[in-house]
Amino acid sequence: MRISGSNRGAAALAAVVAIGLAAAGVAAGFPAVTEAQPSGEEIIEDVEQRYEEAETVTGTAEVTVTNDSETTEATVDFATKDPDKFSIAGETDDGESFEAGSNGSVVWFVGEEKSVARELPEDREYHHDPHPEDGEHYHDHHEMMAGSMGENVDAELVDTTEIDGEEAYILELTPTEEAPEDHRDMESTLWVSTEDSRVLQVTASDDSKEVTAEITETQFDVSNHDSTFEPPEDRVEVTSSETYESFEELEASTDLPVPSYDDGEFEEGTHLTSADGEAVIQQYATDDGEVGIITATGAEDRLSEVEDGERVTVADEEATAVERDDRTVVFWTEDEVTTGVVVDGSVDDAVAVAEEIR
């Protein structure tokens, strides 16, 4: 049986797994499935309907992530609100707390040592790993937590069992050949209540790790104030990002002194702002490969710690060059603004480009 469509029933655990939180839960015995049981497709459709009809979903999950070297456990409280709000808060077995969420326009994460918030791009699309720290791909979060297993998945009802005294269907979910390449190694098992189509447990594994989550409590249509999904103002500041397809639009978006590279063809530029400063990243195409130009504030202290830097001269002024594999960066700072050139080539190649823009 092949599942198609944008929603497929992992319930709240799809978001728990996607954001990289972690911890445990196991199911007992495996009674035989009889011919009277519904098909995997019918069960998934019932789960889909159960969660899609709810304006809000809240609950608690015990999650475990295991890889070759370690196991991490956490208790996670989650909430979603239709169409695009979610919040997750938890504590790992070693006492580290975390929060994550989205109010629909900003996605944020707060941990023991790192906090970040980013504006969501208007034209966003779902990615299997929408970690808030990545800031690149996002989706309707209520839909994601309330039942999205993605497209191109085969589902099979393999058994029934009991979890904490509650009867559950066991479904095995396997990506098809049409699934995205980075999804094809993922295998998942879903435990669904036979009584009311709630997701009770999820296990997902690939070549590197296994994530198991037991949902110990689920409530539908509980009132959640919108403030539940807002980033904590005392812990994070929002990072915004805007991409432009012309140099003129990019230049007009900032007061930074943005250089242009006339020997290359402008492809796109991105303007970033955060609590740490402001940056403009340009991408050019040339006959010799891609050239990147970065203009940023707030970078001088971090760049002063760069090891393996080589002193070079650009337009009769000092600069620093760093080679990594086949890529070279040349950068300098003037009036608290750092400018960098990135090329797929040698130090000489990078200096040549730098000479054109400095």
| pLDDT of amino acid 140 | 45
Please report the pLDDT score of residue 305 as a whole number: 63
* Half-sphere exposure at residue 64, Cβ-oriented, CA atoms within 13 angstroms: 11
Give residue 123's pLDDT.
54
Residue ranges of the chain that CATH labels 2.50.20.10: 2-229
Q: Are 118 and 107 in contact (CB under 8 A)?
A: yes
Evaluate whether 111 touches 102 at the Cβ level (below 8 Å). no
Question: What tens-digit pLDDT sequence spans the chain (358 residues)?
Answer: 333 333 333 333 443 433 333 332 222 233 333 446 899 889 988 988 999 899 999 999 999 999 888 899 999 999 999 888 999 999 988 888 999 999 888 888 988 877 778 777 665 443 433 333 333 333 344 444 444 444 567 789 999 999 999 999 999 988 877 777 767 788 899 999 999 999 999 999 888 889 999 999 999 999 888 888 988 876 676 677 789 999 999 999 999 999 999 999 999 999 988 767 889 999 999 998 999 999 998 876 666 666 678 899 999 999 999 998 788 999 999 988 999 999 999 999 999 999 999 9
Domain boundaries 2-229, corresponding CATH code: 2.50.20.10
Q: What is the pLDDT of residue 144?
A: 42
Look up residue 12 and give its two tokens. Answer: 């709240």
Got the DSSP string for 92-128?
A: ETTS-EEEEEE-SSEEEEE-SS-EEEEEPPSS----S
Supply the pLDDT for residue 302. 65
The alpha carbons of the chain give a radius of gyration, in whole angstroms, of: 25
Please tell me the predicted confidence (pLDDT) of residue 4: 33
Q: How many CB atoms lie within 10 A of CB 114?
A: 10
Pure H helices in 11-146: 13-18, 40-52, 141-145
Contact between 86 and 145 under an 8 Å Cβ cutoff? The reply is yes
| Residue in the structure block whose two tokens are 């603004």 | 337
What class is the 239-357 domain?
A: alpha beta
Domain with CATH 3.40.1000.20 in the chain: 239-357
